[in-house]
Each structure stands twice: as C-alpha cells, then as structure tokens.
Structure 1
Amino acid sequence: MRPALCRLCGSYCPILVTVEKGRATKVTGDRNAPLYEGYTCPKGRALPEHHNGPSRLLSSRKRGPDGTYAPISSDDAMDEIAQRVQSIIARHGPRSVALYWGTGLCTFPQNVNIAAAWMEAIGSPMVFGATAIDKPGAPIAQALHGHWPAGHPPFEEAEAWILIGLNPLISRSGGFPPNNPGLRLKEAVDRRGMKLIVIDPRETETAGRADLHLQARPGSDPAILAAMIHVILRERLQDSAFLDENVMGLASLKAVTDDFPPERAGAMAGVDPAAIEETARIFANSRYAGIGTGVGPSFSLTGTLTDYLASCLMTLCGFWSRAGDRVTKPHVLLPAYQPRAEPMAPFPAWGTGERLRMRGLGYNAAGMPTGALPDEILTEGEGRVRALFCMAGNPMMAWPDQHRAFAALKSLDLLVTADLEMSATARISDYVIAPKLTLEMPGTSALVESAKYYGHNRGIEGPYGRYFPAVVAPPEGADVIADWELYYGLAQRMGLQLAMKTAFGIGQHLEIETQIDLLDMVSKPTDDDLIALGCRKSRVPLDVVKSYPHGRMFNEAQLRVLPRTAECEARLDIGNVRMMAELAAFQPPPFGGSEASHRIFMMVSRRTNRMMNSSGRLNPKLAPLEPTNPAFLHPDDIADLRLVPSGQVEITSRHGSITAIVQPDAGLLRGCLSITQGFGGNPDETDDPEGLGCNTGRLLSADAEFDPISGIPRMGAVPVRISKRP
C-alpha cells in the first residue's frame, strides 16, 4: 500500500492506496499519519473508481460541426486552441478571454498558479473563481473587520463553538477542524465538555449532537448574532481591556445592536429569545470559543454581514491569541513568518481592480464577480468575453441562473473545459481536455497550511507537513495532461513567458514576500518542479518533509506569538459604517404565507457525503448510493400538501421551475424545502428527476437580487411553490 493524500476537497485526508498491476484498487485511511486517525470519507474511498471508471476520458475531445465529439491529441488541441485565442485577441483584445476555476483546484493548486500566469501573460484581468458564488462574504468581511495575524487559540482549548449553517460532519469545510471532524467533535463535546451550538433550519448530523440547536428561519442569522452582541454588551461580558487596546467602532456597534434585543431577534428568526440569551452567555463566559459559518447564510445574501458579526463577536470577547501563546497554525511548507499579538487594520474590500461592464460590479476581496460573468459574455460591445477556459469546475452545474449560463456558454466563440468526463459543461464545449487525476500527480499539504488566510478558524492546527509522490501512472495508452500543462503549452505556442507567483497574506498585508519564478519555456517543468518552486523558501526544507512518507508534526517549526510592537497603531473595526447601515436596515426574508392556494416554502441548500458538488455523479461506486437529489420536506408538510414520498413534484420560483422527487426529513424546519445543488442536466436535455436529478440553478436569477459587492445572487432562502406532478 502506498501513502498519499486524498485531494477531492480541502481536508486532504491521508490515505493508503492499494496498487495492483499499475492500477489503484483500494483506498483506506492512513493510521500512521498524524492528526487524522485513519479517517477518510466515502468519496475518498471511491478514488479507484474515480480513476478507473468507464466514464473517464483518456484522451481529449473536439466538437465537430455536427455537434458530435471526436478524439484529438493534446498537442493538436493546444495547437488549434492557441491559434484561435490569438485570433480572438487580435480582433477583440485580451479582455475578451476569461478563466474560471472551480473547487477542484484542490487536486493540484499549482494548476491555478500557471493558469493565472498565462492570463497575466496575455494581458487579461478576467479571472473568475468559485469563491464568488460560494462564500464571498468571508474575505469581504475580513477586509472590513481587519485581521489578527496571530490567529486564535487551539481548538482543544475551546469551551464553546457556534456553527451557523455549517455541517462539518458532512461538508468538512472551513470553520471547524477538517481532520476527522467526527472524532474532533466527540473529543470536544463528550470528553472535555465543550458546548456545541448550531444555528440552522435543519437538524443536521452536526445539530443532532449539539447542546443547543437554534432552528432559525433561513436568512435570519444576522438578527441572532446582533442579539448576542446586545446581550454581551448589556451584561458587560466583553473583554474591555482587549477592546481598549486593539479595537475601534464599539460605540457604533452598540448603538445599532441596542435595537436587537433577544425578543425582537427571536421573532425575526422564529427562535426562543431565551435560547439566544443562553447562547450569548455560554459564548462570552468561555475562556475561549469559536464560530464557523457555512454557505447557507451566504446563499441567503447575508453572508458578508453574518461573517462580519461573527468576527465582531470573536473580537468583543478577545478570542484571539496573545503574546506567549503557541501559534496554532505555524508554517512548514510555506516560508517562515513570525506573528505578533497585534491587529492588521481593515483594508479596501472593493474598488481596487478591474471593473465589469454590468451592474457596477468589479474586483473585490472575493475576486471577480462570477455571478455576472454570463452577462459579460452575452452583452455586446467593447470588452465582451468571447473565449472562456474552465478549469477544475463545472459551470453548468455550479453557476446560478442555469438558463442564462447555458445561453452565455453556447454563445462563446471558444469554450475550453478540462474535465475527467463529459460533464454538463463539457457537453457544450469546443474542446474538452482530458486531465491527469489526483493519484497520478504528486502533492503536498501546503494548501491546508495556507487555509488560514481565507478566514478565521480555517485549516489544520499544528506544524503538520506532508509530501507524497504520484501513486500510479495514467492508464497505458492514455493521452492525459495536468491542467497546468494546457496553459504552459498555450504559452509556448504563443511565444509567451510565464511567471509563477506565490504570495500569502491578507489583502494588502503580505506576511511573506511574494515569490516570482520565471518558468523555463523551452524545457517543460515537471509537477515536482512546480512543487519545488513553490516550496523553495519553505520553513522546513522540502527534502526533509519528503523523508517522512506518512507526514509528520515538525515541532521544530513551532512558534510563540510575539508581543505587540510599540509602533503598531492598527485597530480592528467592529463598527464598519457599511455593515452597521446594513444591520440597521436588516429584515429577514418573509417566511410562510400563501399564494394561489399553495404555501410558499423557503428553499435552502444541503450537502451530501457521497458527492463533491457535481463530481462523483458518474462514479460507479458512489452514483448508485445517491442517484438523484430529492426535495426534502418535513413529513407534516408532505401530508398537508397531499404528496407521496418518492413521488414527483413541481417546484416553482419567480424565475423558473424544476421537477424533483420528494422525500421526508423530520429534522427540517416546517416551511422549508432542502435540496442539494450540482445535479440535473443541461436545459436542452431531457429532464430526468429520478436519474440525473434536477438543477436548482433554474430557480434562480443572476440579477433580480444580488450582493452589490460580490455579485452573488440569491441562491438560498428562495421562495418557491410546490405542487404534485400529475
């Protein structure tokens, strides 16, 4: 068995891979690796089927005039694509070429570095990512609040933890330790008595283990957090000494939250005011407590305010590491840095980069506004996007407003997608590049090490470092390339020099000097060459990390937080003018009511343990376990609507309709409909609710309601009607 890391998501669980005759045949958790205790999820255990399944592309594809696809060598594909890109740039300028990357970037983060270097080399700023339609509020809130570079105390010291719209037992996403979250939760709650509080309209797997579950109405989270602040300030539970030295805006925050007593917030959220008060006291009276937020608040268009208020609560109680504390997330494969117990001031969250032609949107702390990209493609005029490259993502499943996305992608002069199978986006692309997969590429743990730069309470704690070589070679006779090789190959053919940039920091504050490495454009580097470039200033030499095949805790890299410098005048801002105005005007979306004799339900999202977004739908081991995405309702709502479990229903919003299979969920707040994203087919394909499932993007509009900074449209707390299909 060969040690490796699963890289289907950012948790990077250590695995052992059984290889027989050059093929991966089995994956189990690696009990010899630190931190994870042998954990891996069903998706990780299905990696052999991921690599060897019948739907995997073993050569690239080109669409012909009749719409059918034929094999094409990767070299010929790059020749043709390079010529077409040069022609498009010559006619329309470099801004007409755009890049989109999805959550699959975990596979090999250097893919994004090289693709971004190619975009910079051609002179296009049109780089879009999944962050802007997932959790854009987290980096924007961090910019408005400021940053505490020393981080937070260890999770093992937490006496309370609040999870808002977050279910780490299934999602393993940021806001809670990702290394075996089930065991971490058991250790914390059962063994050392940590209080777990969940705010969620669903009784999720995590909420079922909570001390308190505030089953709040969708989109009401800011009211609950504001009321918690109200209680803390009213009862003087804040850390006044920390605030006096490090914080500004307290008076503004108090003035606004004075209008959010628990009684008012409880009425808004549909929860007991006493539960809000208890939550506030448990949190503030803890020696240390933390908060994690999920995509639910973000989809409800309250993401920035929710994340901002969560940061304010952490700061009000002084839950940040102090001088002399152990640094919880020191560097191993990243360059050395030395944090101090002092703030990093807020910095501009928008208005410093490229502007879009649509809706006053532009570059912001979460990147370019992906929700507006279809309009940049569809709208005629100077600056129109005419070529799009999709990497590590599936826009037709991920982008909101699927009909608009479909029209946009179909109208492009050139659409190039890298995908392991003929996904929904691949099926409308001009070229589909067949990529190498995770076990065919080396990797390191540097990504989980850098997660702390994308929001508090993210990433692995401790000086953990890991490298592993490729476990297997691509199948014999396959013509597959790493995603980065496409952009390197295009640069070669276009006579461009690529400069790979590596930088880590928050906003305008870089804790580490930016590395710029000019690539050899004659002799192509290897995957390992790119890893070595990114780690050439690592705190622990890469060769040392390589000598531990199962990874190691490099205690020699452990640090202590240094004291504040006398020159530091920065302060965290808990009274940002824009956030206070948004909170003062806050009203949760209407809940309940009736229209045309049908109740109005609020659609909310959920994740599955067997799929990573749209990835895994064709995996022969996973697909039979979860073939479709049911619309879950409370059993009493099913009865009231006279529906039948497993029967078909029509779900209709102001913007469209879909057909789904209905199933009961007794833990769901009545009046809510919960459904997983990333399923279904393209609009021109036959609907198959029992097979492909349904695409919730057809219920959304990209421009009817959207965040004015990130451009994310309303993707959650969406009013819908439900009717029985004849």
Structure 2
Amino acid sequence: MTIRTEQPSICRMCHAACPITVEMEDGKPIKVTGNKASPTYHAFCCSRGQASVEHINHPDRLLSSMKRQADGSFAPIGIEQAMDEIADKIKALIDANGPRSLAAYFGTYSGPYPAAPPMLGSLVASLGSPMIFASATIDQPGKDIANAMLGQWKAGPQAFADADVWLMLGGNPLVSIAGGIPSQNPARRLTDKLKDGMKLIVIDPRRSETAARAHIHLRPTPGEDSSLLAAMLHVIINESLYDAAFVADNVAGFAALAAAVEVFSPAFAAARADVPEQQIIDAARLFATAKRGVATGLTGANMSGHSSLVEYLMLCMNTLCGRFVRAGEAVANPGVLLPRATPVAEAVAPAAYANLGEKLRVRGLAQSASGMPTAALADEILLEGEGQVKALIINGGNPVAAWPDQEKTVAAMKALELLVHVDIKMSATAKLADYIIAPKVSFEVPTMSLAVEQLENFSYHWGLCEPFGMYAPALVEPPAGSDLIEEWEFYYGLAQRLDIGLFAYSLESKTATAREGRDFVMFDMVNKPTTDEVFEILSNRSRIPLTEVKQHPNGALFPEAIIAQARSQDCDARLDIGNTDMMAELATVQHETTGLAGYPYKLVCRRMKNAYNSSLRDLPKLVKTKRPYNPAFMHPDDLDELGVGEGENIVITSIHGEIIGIANADKTLKRGILSMAHAFGDVEQDDRNGSLFSNGSSTSRLVSTNDSYDRFSGMPRMSALPIKICKH
C-alpha cells in the first residue's frame, strides 16, 4: 500500500530559503511546492525549487567519496579513510610550506547549509592560514567596500514595504530571486507595491522582466553606470532636491561630492551612456522627491567595472536623500535567529576598507572589507615562491565554471598538490580534484533560516524583510548503500585528526544593520555534536531561541516593535559621501573610454531561470522546455546585420580570448549588446567540437584578471566587455 504524506521543509536551491511542502511517497520525496501555511513567502517556490527532487535524485550524483588514482581515473574511497589521508597531506604541506599554503573557497552553495562555512573557515584559521576566499568578491564586492567607506546608519535603511520609490541597477530579481526586491516572493511584493503607487526606476540595457514593469527604464551603454549615477547626483545637488537637514546633521563630504559630479551634467552623461538627457533628469527628480525608498545595485552593476564606485555612488544617493530609519520609527526585522536589533538613528563613522590583513603577492591586492580577492587566488596558486598556495578546499562552489579567466583557473587547479572538492557530482572542478567528498544534501539534512537572515549584513534588502524564522528537520535517509557525510562533519573530522579546535563567532547586536562578532564559542572536539547542537551554537544569542522556532513546523513571524532611538548626545560620527579614493576614481571616469576600437559590441551578463550560477541546468525539469546551453542573445536586427540565423554559431572574441556561442534573438536587448550567462563551460572544453550545446560557452574565457580590475577587491570587468562577433 502506497503511503503519501506532506512534510514542511526549506528549499536549499538558493539563498532565498523558501518554505516548501514536500510530497512524500513511501518515505521518498516526489514533488515540491510552495508552503501555503507559511507566512511571508505566500506559498512562493520558483521553478528551481520545484526541481529539488531531481537535484537530490540526480542520476550523476556521487554516493561515495572519490579519490584520484595514479592513472588519473577515480575510485571510491571510504569517508573515514579519506579524512585520514587528507589530514595527513594537509599536515605535511603545512609543515613543509607554512600555514599560508592552505586555502579555502566558499561558493554559492555554502549558504543553504549554514553549519559548513563556520566549520571550514574555523579549520583553516585555526591552522594559521589567512587564505579564506568566497564568491562574494567575484560577484558584488563593492557592497561591503562602499559600506565601509560611507559608514553605517545604526537604524538601517528604509524598508521596501514602506517605499514610495525604488531604484534598481543591473539586476533582475524576478528571475534571480536574490536582492533588489525582498526574495520572499519578489514578483508578488513588487506587484503589490506598484498597485499601492510605488514608482519603480530600473537601469538596465535590457528590458528584463523587472525593467518591463518600471515607470522609468534607463537603458545605458554597458559600463556607463558610474557616469549615469554621477549625473543623477548632479541633478539632485544642483536642484537642491536632497534632504538638507539630514545632510547638515549627519553627513560629511558634501562639498567634495558636489565638486566631483559637477562635470557629469545630464547632457554629458546622456552622450556617454546613450540615454535621453531628460530621462536622467526625470529619474533623479522622481527618486529624490519621493519620501521613502532606496537605490540598490545587483550583479550586473558590480560586474560591469568600477564595482566599488558604483555601489558607493548609490549609497551617496541614498544618503543625500536621507533614506534611513529615523528616531521613533520601527525597524522592519528586529531579528529572529540573529540577536535583537538595537537601532539608533545615528551614524557610525567610516571603517577601514583596504589593506585589512593579509597582503597578496600579485597586483598589490590585499584583504579588503569584502574579504580576500578571489580573482587573485589562481595567481597565488600558480606563482612559485614563498607563500605559494599548494592546497585548496572548496565548499559549495565550482571555480572552473565561476571564476574569471577559465584557462588560468584550470591551470591553477591542476598545479595544486592537494585539491579537495566537496560536491555531489563530477563537476568541472571536481574532475581536477584529488579527492571529491560526497555530501548529504537537501532533505537529508536539517537546516534553519539563519543563513538568509544573515544576508542583511551583506547589503540593503537582502536577507529577510520580516521577522520570519524556521527550522526544518531532515526528512529522508541518504540512499541505501551510500557513504555520505554532512559538510560540517567532514571539516570537524579533519580538525580532530589535525588536533586543532574549531570555533563559531558569538554574535552580539550593536545595530540593526551591522551585527559584529564580539567573541567566539569553542566546539567540543571530543564529543561530536549533532547538527542541531551546532545550530544552537550558531544562533546562541538569537532574539528568539531556536527551540521556540522549532515549535512552528511551517515557520512563523515573531514580531516585536523595536523603535529606533534618538542619536546620543556624544555621537559626532558622520556618513562620508566624499571619500577621497572614490572622488579620485570618479574623476578618471569622465576621461575613460569604455569602448574599444575593432570591438564594436559589448558582452553583458544575465540570469537564467533554469540555472543557479554553474548548477541546476542539467536537471530535466528545468531544461526540458528551455535551452540546455548558454544562449548568445542579441537583438534581431544585430543578427540580421551579421547574417546570422537563430541557432547558428557565432565566434565571440575579446582582447583576451575567444569562444563560440549559439545565437538567439532577443528583442528586449539594446542594440550592440550580446547577453550571456556566466558560470558555464567544462574543463579544457573545445568550443568548436560541439560540446558547447551540452556544457555551454564559458564567458570567463573572455575575461582577464589582470585588466580593468577593482583595486580593492581585485574583481575584473566581467560584464560590459568589448567584443567583436562574426558568423562561425
């Protein structure tokens, strides 16, 4: 007799952590839908989440860890033996080369499994290595850097729910489900706000799903975001549209910013960005004259060059217009599994944003406010001499597909003496590893909503827009006969063998937007904790105890009216909108040429519904009605001009490299643009042998990490890239 049940859980397919209902048949998951009984998300579950069952049952899933053999092939290895061997190799490498020879990399899929990142970070740090890298520095590093430059407002930014206007630059949250609009059912939230009268401004060269709903849609030439933002600031300042009282009381650097943007008149920016001058003026006026609402940037804004500057100019716009929670107003999310917010309507002075710790050996880079520069890690592996990275542990990532300059990345992975990759299948990077650790995934492990809540520390309007908390237990056992391990357990097992302790930072709330680690809690290295006990430690100062959150199987809202207090009498801190480094960089923009002779087109990045960076695009549920490859989208008139038909191959060339793409028409694009997703491709892929249809073309082959990089994060220009195109 077939037994069917429905169980609440949390989706693990991206950072949004949507509550879901898992339909079970004889104890096995067969279908996933949005959880109608859960608040905040309103039964939302995107197509990627609905493919969760295929993800856990992936036909290529590894059911045991693998070890590279002498002939290059792979053979299964028991997890205990793998941990023994890896620990011995790490110890030998550190003894011979020092702690810096070991590095760790956290990829996109570190987020949905909250116990793993602190364990791996603690493992590497406890061994004495500062070489801890993450995908954020090749995604949106400008956010953390710009926030440090500006300073912070202790009561946080105004909420989307209260906004009269909203400005988004370089993103499409209706597809990406990440940032810009709260990820808790972004389409519904945007629809509701537009019905309420909120005005939407979108800056994007493509008429994306989000841009199609905008009241003002500016379609600039890619790479001109900073000049366009500077022109909007020019209008706001010259027409005195800013909040003069807020600026006088809380802001420094006004004169420096005003001088820096003076040359960026709407006419000047319109000519550079190829947008109507009046549209720039209208957008600036609409944003500044509204009472509430913020400007926010996304991946496209950061990948198109001047990452830190673009994010900083948006913060300047928000600051000039005073778009922060004021004294007497409530904060939207007082914290659930995070500590209780203690909002105060006052500034925190700017913090250090560069040269914060370890200095790298290449391009003058060092740790910044966004972390260690991931775009330089391949160089640190390849550059011989003292300090060379010889061992790398990868959690939740796929560097061969995701890092800029794919050929250099492949060379770096091959040069390592020890590459350990935690992955569910033989991904592009796993194929180069010495050990592939097969983890338990999705419904095989418990999880909680802490990770998505912590995203508030990353940027405005990521994280949870309301005080929602949820815990989801494991629903199923791993497949029969498998030898799998939770990610955190693997790092814990290595630490035991290396005879070191592991720790988790104990969080203490100082503000609603910046919760800082004040001290740490050590894990018991003799009596192995359960996953739930690890969760208790990670949420040890939560406003709502995890035990209480667990009492609500569908998740729940935990409201508490926490009101921002007035500025203390002894506070003299100010938000800085005239940062010297940023004003100097802006001065170079006016003379910058973003085009390149002989390369008449621009490559821009985009998000796709059937992929999450390098993952998911091989799941039948996501590709059966969509393209399984990486389409090279162009305006139909551009394709006609090139004599290229739908589905035909084109040669795409930058000054750094060349790839083959499959042409697809997209009339939503501005002319002169080719739009493709990043994080495709395989090891040593020959784009001319037909594999581009199954593996997709890797745009990172067109990118050089040595050119046009942000001097603080090291992030190279990965979008708005000059290219030339011809028929193959």
Q: What is the TM-score of this pair, normalised by structure 1?
A: 0.97
Residue 704 of structure 1 pairs with residue 703 of structure 2: no
What's the counterpart of residue 286 of structure 2?
282
- Asked if 2 retains the 8 angstrom alpha-carbon contact of 1:22 and 1:473, the reply is no
The match for 1:231 is 235
Instruction: Determine which of 473, 478, 484 is the counterpart of 1:474.
Output: 478
Deviation at 1:157, TM superposition (A): 1.8
Whichever residue aligns with residue 568 of structure 2, its letter is T
C-alpha contact (below 8 Å) 1:98/1:388 kept by paired residues: yes
Bigger CA drift: 703-712 or 262-271?
703-712
2:462 to 440, 458, 461: 458
The offset of 1:287, in angstroms, is 1.1
User: 1:16, 1:694 → 2: CA distance?
Assistant: 35
Q: Which residue of 2 aligns with 1:314?
A: 318
Alpha-carbon spacing, 1:83–1:593, altered in 2? closer, same or farther (3 Å): closer
Call closer, same or farther: CA 1:687–1:385 in 2, change over 3 Å. farther
Give the letter for the 1:237 counterpart: L
- Distance between the aligned counterparts of 1:4 and 1:709, measured in 2? 40
Match of 1:375 among 366, 369, 379: 379
Aligned mates of 2:690, 2:535 — CA distance in 1: 43
Instruction: Name the amino acid aligned to 1:639.
Output: D
**Residue 716 of structure 1 pairs with residue 719 of structure 2:** yes
Does the CA-based 8 Å contact 1:149-1:340 persist in structure 2? yes
* Cα distance per residue 1:168-203 (max 9 Å; x no partner): 1001222221111111111111x1111111101111
Q: Which moved more, 1:692-701 or 1:582-591?
A: 582-591
Where structure 1 has 5 or more consecutive residues not aligned to the other structure, the ranges are none
1:618 to 2:623 alignment = no
Identity of aligned pairs, percent? 44
Paired residues of 2:108 and 2:397 also in contact (CA < 8 A): yes
The 3 A distance-change label for structure 1 pair 512 and 352 is: closer
Which deviates more, 573-582 or 456-465?
A: 456-465
* 1:646 match: secondary structure: coil
| Deviation sequence 1:207-256 (CA, Å, 0-9, x none) | 11111110111111111111111111111111111111110000111111
Contact 2:332 2:465 in 1 (8 A): yes
1:515-534 CA-to-partner distances (Å, cap 9, x unmatched) read 42211112211111110111
Secondary structure at the aligned position of 1:107 is classed as coil
Q: Secondary structure at the match of 1:432?
A: strand
Q: CA deviation at 1:506?
A: 9.3
**Partner Cα distance (1:687, 1:631) in 2:** 15
1:155-554 aligned within 5 A = 155-189=160-194, 191-503=195-507, 511=515, 514-554=518-558
**Does the CA contact (< 8 Å) of 1:453 and 1:505 recur in 2?**
no
CA 1:579–1:660 in 2, change beyond 3 Å: closer, same or farther? same
Per-residue Cα deviation, 1:308-363 (whole angstroms, up to 9, x for no partner) = 01111111011100011011121111122311000111000011200111111010
Describe the shift of the 1:352–1:525 C-alpha distance in structure 2 as closer, same or farther (beyond 3 A): same
Is the 1:291–1:457 contact (alpha carbons within 8 Å) kept by the matching residues of 2?
Answer: no
2:637 match: secondary structure: helix
Report deviation, 1:504.
Answer: 6.6
Secondary structure of the residue aligned to 1:363 is coil
SS at match of 2:604: strand
Letter in 2 for 1:85: I
Residues in 1 aligned to 2:634 and 2:159: alpha-carbon distance in whole angstroms: 38
Matches within 5 A, 1:85-104: 85-104=90-109
Residues in 2 aligned to 1:233 and 1:705: alpha-carbon distance in whole angstroms: 30
- Compared CA separation, residues 330 and 286, structure 1 to 2 (3 A): same
Given the superposition, is the C-alpha separation of residues 458 and 565 from structure 1 closer, same or farther in structure 2, using an over 3 Å criterion?
same
Q: Is the 8 A contact 1:601 1:719 kept in 2?
A: yes
On the 8 A contact 1:464/1:552 being kept in 2, the answer is yes
1:30 paired with 2:31, answer no
Assess if the C-alpha contact under 8 Å between 2:39 and 2:555 holds in 1: yes
Q: Which of 621-630 and 327-336 deviates more?
A: 621-630
2:57 equivalent to 1:55: no
Aligned match of 1:602: 602
Q: Secondary structure at the match of 1:58?
A: coil
Q: Partner amino acid for 1:654?
A: I
- Give yes or no for the alignment of 1:584 onto 2:548: no
Give the conservation status (yes or no) of the 8 Å contact 1:633–1:670.
yes
SS of the aligned residue for 2:156 comes to: coil
Mean Cα deviation higher: 297-306 or 632-641:
297-306
Which residue does 1:154 correspond to in 2?
159
What RMSD over aligned residues (CA atoms) do the two structures have, in Å?
A: 1.6
> Is the 1:702–1:713 contact (alpha carbons within 8 Å) kept by the matching residues of 2?
yes
State the SS of the aligned residue for 1:514: strand
Question: Cα distance 1:676–1:505, how it changes in 2: closer, same or farther (>3 A)?
Answer: farther
What per-residue deviation string (whole Å, max 9, x for no partner) do you get for residues 265-319 of structure 1?
1111110110011111111111102112111121122221111011111110111
Letter of the 1:682 counterpart = V
Which string of whole-angstrom CA distances, capped at 9 and with x for unpartnered residues, describes residues 686-716 of structure 1? 5512221111111111112211110011211
1:121 aligns with 2:126: yes
How far apart, in 2, do the equivalents of 1:643 and 1:537 lie? 60
Say if 2:44 is the partner of 1:43: no
Q: How does 1:620-635 map to 2 (within 5 A)?
A: 620-624=620-624, 625-635=626-636
**Number of aligned residues:** 719
Q: CA deviation at 1:659?
A: 0.9
Q: Is the 8 A contact 1:102 1:129 kept in 2?
A: yes
Asked if 2 retains the 8 angstrom alpha-carbon contact of 1:219 and 1:589, the reply is: no
Render the CA deviation track for 1:97-119: whole Å, top value 9, x for unaligned: 00011011122122010001101
- Give the Cα–Cα distance (whole angstroms) in 1 for the partners of residues 115 and 592 of structure 2: 41
1:27 alignment partner, SS class = strand
For 2:693, the equivalent position in structure 1 comes to 690
Q: Which residue of 1 aligns with 2:7?
A: 2
Supply the AA of the counterpart residue of 2:362.
M
Equivalent-residue separation in structure 2 for 1:623 and 1:126 (angstroms): 37
Residue identity in the other structure for 1:45: Q
Q: Is the 8 A contact 2:391 2:418 kept in 1?
A: yes
The alignment partner of 1:282 has SS state of helix
What whole-Å deviation, never above 9, does each CA across 1:86-134 have from its counterpart, x for those lacking one? 1111111111000011011122122010001101121111001001100
Match in the other structure for 2:114: 109
CA contact (8 A) 2:506 2:541 kept: no
Aligned partners of 1:497 and 1:570: how far apart in 2? 39
CA contact (8 A) 1:107 1:437 kept: no
How far has the Cα of 1:567 moved from its partner? 1.1
Contact 1:146/1:572 (CA < 8 Å) preserved in 2?
yes
1:583 counterpart SS class: helix
Give 5+ residue unaligned stretches, structure 2: 1-5
- Give the corresponding residue for 2:3: none
Structure 2 residue 562 is matched with structure 1 residue 559:
yes
Cα distance in 1 for partners of 2:358, 2:540 equals: 31
Query: SS of the residue aligned with 2:620?
Result: coil
Q: Which deviates more from structure 2 when the two are superposed, residues 330-339 or residues 620-629?
A: 620-629
1:501 and 1:613 map into 2 onto residues whose CA distance is: 29
> Is 1:11 matched up with 2:12?
no
Alignment equivalent of 2:83, drawn from 75, 78, 83: 78
Q: Is the 8 A contact 2:114 2:450 kept in 1?
A: no
Per-residue CA deviation, residues 64-90 of structure 1 (Å, 9 max, x unaligned), is 011111111111111111111111111
1: CA distance between counterparts of 2:169 and 2:120? 34
Partner-residue secondary structure (3-state), 2:525: coil
TM-score, with length taken from structure 2: 0.96
